[in-house]
Structure 1
Amino acid sequence: MGDEPTAIATASRVETILRENLVRENRAIDAVVPVLRHLLVSEGQRLVSDAILARVRGMLSDLAAQLLAAADGRDPALNVVGRIDADARDALAESLAADRGLLTLCHALAVESHLAERIHLQRGIDPVLSPLLQELIASDEPVIAELAMNLLAAQSRFIQSQRRMELPLSELPAELFHAVLSAHANPRSDTAAGEALARFQQNYDEATTRIGLLARLVAAMRRGAVAALALDHAGLGLFASTLAALSRQPRAHAVLACHEQQGARLALGLRAAGLGPDAIERQFLLVDPAARMPSDLAAISSDRARILLDAAAG
């Protein structure tokens, strides 16, 4: 009985510290979009790394080129740079940068690919074929094996696209895909162009996108998905999707939790996903060996961690 007040006091103290850290980390995340918008139209700033900024700018330019191709009735996946008016592309890219949801997605993808490459160099974790994905490809369950094989191909395409600073329209989440096309790909020529654009929209399938495949694979793994909460075993892509699913937070937030100065978000996310302090500490060391894990994290239950994340997001 005498230990109960002490435990309550410890949990309250840890929760206060985590709340304060989340407020600080949220400020950093909230500042990203305005900073990106500023940097996309200016030079000489260093608040966002050059590598991340270049990838975001490249993705927006690539999306603009695809939208112009779609508006002309051509297959966006086969657009030829020489056939796109550069001024029109740049103007459209600037317009796309005003879309907070799209800019947030581009930033998260750029961060993910950048972190995956860094982890590959530092830890030797392949950004395409992780040990866990290799095991899932060999699974006795046909559904899991097929999803894993499809994900392997999608992950390879993602890494290659990021190196070219590109983002296929067909890889956008459904809500963004339809919103972006409706707002920016109105056919400018004949009926044939409109029909071609309609076919492109009809052929879109969110379930076959990389993020869609990741979500489906995590769901198919059921209770076994907890195995993907080991970054060095699962790889960043599968780790982030699993963390997002099990902690019930946006995938972009799960990706950013693996970035520097987002320790409270990572700790709470892993706790909300059901991991204990020792397992959480191992992930901390993989993400940032110099980071300090919040003490007495065991005093925060998984349910309470999820509530704290929800409150921070709201």
Structure 2
Amino acid sequence: MEDERPDPRVWGHIPGVPVGTTWASRQECSDSAVHPGIISGIYGPSAHGAYSIVLSGGYEDDVDLGETFTYTGSGGRQKTSREGKAIRMGPQIEDQSFKHHPNQALLMAMKNNRPIRVVRGFKLNSIYAPAEGYRYDGLYRVTEAEKAVGKLGFKMCRFTMVREPNQSPLPVRYYEQTLAKIKKNSRKSDTKRASPTRSKTKPIVFVKDERKPVPQKPIVPAKDERKFPTTVMASGPSRPTQPRTSVPPPSPQTSPGRSELVTRSPRSRPRTSLPYPHPQPRQATEVPRRSDIPSAEAFPELPNFEGEYLNI
């Protein structure tokens, strides 16, 4: 025969379930009688007090420090969608109240100083949460209850719980803790470096330049008045110097003709000390007048034009 399920309506440990027992799902945890139910986080009647709770990260105001933690009460969530369907974990839409039955059960457990079984789930954002599934972490007692405004702006019921002494130490996820430190340090270094992927780009603001231009002075070239010493270059044995003979200027009678000037180019002309003289105008010859022409008698050898004919 199969063993009967133990009664979960007891304060304290469940027989046969030591601290540190883990389960893969809420259903297995419910079957062990440590925390019945697969949805509600608080189990127990409001008249006598709560028997067990589950820390699964359902609320943003939960703070887990291991031996102590702040637990957020129940209520204030949206239960149905716009289509009328039931919602398992709806958003927070109103304030919580201590008149809510699960919250009354925690208040009654604090009033009667009852120990409460605590189960941590893998969804909890804490280094004390298991890497997977759910884990039984022993007995805690409610030491304080208050109502304060939470992170979402609603009034939330908060319960401070302290772990009972002489229990097995809580396992810590050192790998996740180290990873969290690395991420934290990387965020700080990114903010110092002002990485473009993380930092917000600021708009570029153009500032009007109201500076007056500096007047430019005109550039005046300066005369180089430096005196350089003249040096005589040393050469071989001195040669007898011959006196230079000056080329006499060409006379008007020996000036080059037109054909010579046309055939020769300026490059082929010999360089002389004096340039070519300008062409001189020719002297005008006296033209004999008609009255000065000699008559026919002056030429006796020519025939008479008055004769019969000219035999030429």
TM-score computed with the length of structure 1 as normaliser: 0.19
Q: Which has the larger radius of gyration?
A: 2
The structure where helix makes up a greater share of residues is 1
